[in-house]
Amino acid sequence: MRTLIFVTTLLLAFTIAGSAGLPEYIYITQPSGYLLATDYEDAQIKAEFPFGTRFKVLGKSEEWYKVTIDNMNGYMSEYTAQSYTSMSPSQRARLQKALKNDTPMVELSPGTTVLRRDTIHLYALIGDGLGEVTTREWKIGSAPFVPTLRSDTTIIAPSVADSAFLVILKATDNTGMSTSDTARFNVVQTISEKLAIENKAKQ
């Protein structure tokens, strides 16, 4: 019972501290910043983002912001990211200059060698600096772009061999700026072909 009360108290403290006067968004003010799984320095790194990336703030405890970006939650140190109003004039100027022609960031999982009709799971990191990603579109092979809310998808490889089977993810923000990333797959017919290609790549 004592442990349960202690944990509940910690959670309540985080909620109360994170509800008073918090900014809606923070921006990475260092060359890059890590999104961590928990609120301590040696925690697991979930993703790395470049200068200027914007995160929505969910709460704060001591020097740690609880944030979310593209449906991924985590923690960001206040020494890595700040609200726009808390930045110095020089930091604001640098941020505005860097994001003047801001476009979304899209990093799609890389393509590999797969067998015909293999199940392929794809995921992406998507973010935006001062804007907000409003549209995601997947293009699978020769099919047209299809709008979606998701940054991940599962597809089936073609039934015929194809050395350049392409999957493209395009993100568009609220200013109309777009960025895309492409994963290229080599679809082969036999497991021996797949193993030969993988072994050659390791050499």
Each residue's pLDDT tens digit, 48-81 = 888 888 899 999 988 999 999 878 899 999 999 9
Which pair of tokens denotes residue 108? 């799609």
Q: Are strands 113-115 and 178-188 parallel, antiparallel or unpaired?
A: parallel
Find the domain containing 113 and state its range.
Answer: 105-202
Residues 47 and 128 in one domain: no
Helices (H), 40-108: 89-98
Residues 120 and 189 in one domain: yes
Residues 24 and 111 in one domain: no
Number of Cβ within a 10 Å radius of residue 51:
17
Instruction: Give me the CATH number covering residue 126.
Output: 2.60.40.10
Give the total number of structural domains in the chain: 2
| The pLDDT of residue 144 | 96
Q: What separation in angstroms does the CA of 13 have from each of 1, 61, 167, 195?
A: 18, 8, 45, 54
The predicted model gives 128-141 an average pLDDT of 85
pLDDT band at 101; cut points 50, 70, 90:
low
Residues 36 and 92 in one domain: yes
